[in-house]
Amino acid sequence: MGVMNKFMNFLGLQEEEVAEEREQRTTEHHEEVETPLPEPRKNKGNIVSIHSQKNIRVVLNEPRSYEETQEIADHLRNRRPVVVNLQRVRSDQATRIVDFLSGTVYALNGSISKIGPNIFLCTPDTVEIHGSISEIMNTEG
């Protein structure tokens, strides 16, 4: 049995008998080589690729001005979730940044969630968020 036939048999693309018949035909008929029609593949159970999940990188970003917002949007366009900490920007800039990122995730069918005071999680459509974080209000009195 040839190396290619052994490999195809190992992958389950052909049965051993078919591979042996093909080898015999090619050795008997050197001038005229027929390629048989591929046999229907038999289901040998569920085949699951081990490497179907690639590593997902979460980007942490702490913008200091509105101009850095496009960089965050570029990460989202590249299907990377981003945690945005807006504690170092003024409240009016933070509002503008959240508005821009809300539009970005809407356009990408993603989502944006508040996970802390002035901290947001922006995710593309390939990432699902389950659960919620309740906001604890400091009430002194």
Mean pLDDT of 31-57: 58
Hey, what amino acid is at 120?
F
Q: How far is CA 31 from CA 27, 28, 39, 65, in A?
A: 10, 9, 24, 75
pLDDT classification of 56: cutoffs 50, 70, 90: confident
For the record, the structure tokens of 123 come out as 């995710």
What would the DSSP string read from start to end of 95-133? Answer: HHHHHHHHHHHHHTT-EEEEEETTEEEEE-TT----S--
What pLDDT is stored for residue 85 in this prediction?
A: 96
Q: pLDDT tier at 103 (50, 70, 90 boundaries)?
A: very high
Confidence of residue 16 (pLDDT cuts 50, 70, 90): low
Question: Looking at the predicted structure, is the pLDDT value of residue 15 above 60?
Answer: no
CA distance 100 to 69: 8
The predicted pLDDT at position 132 comes to 75
Q: Is the pTM here over 0.75, yes or no?
A: no
Whole-number pLDDT of residue 139: 44
pLDDT at res. 131: 79
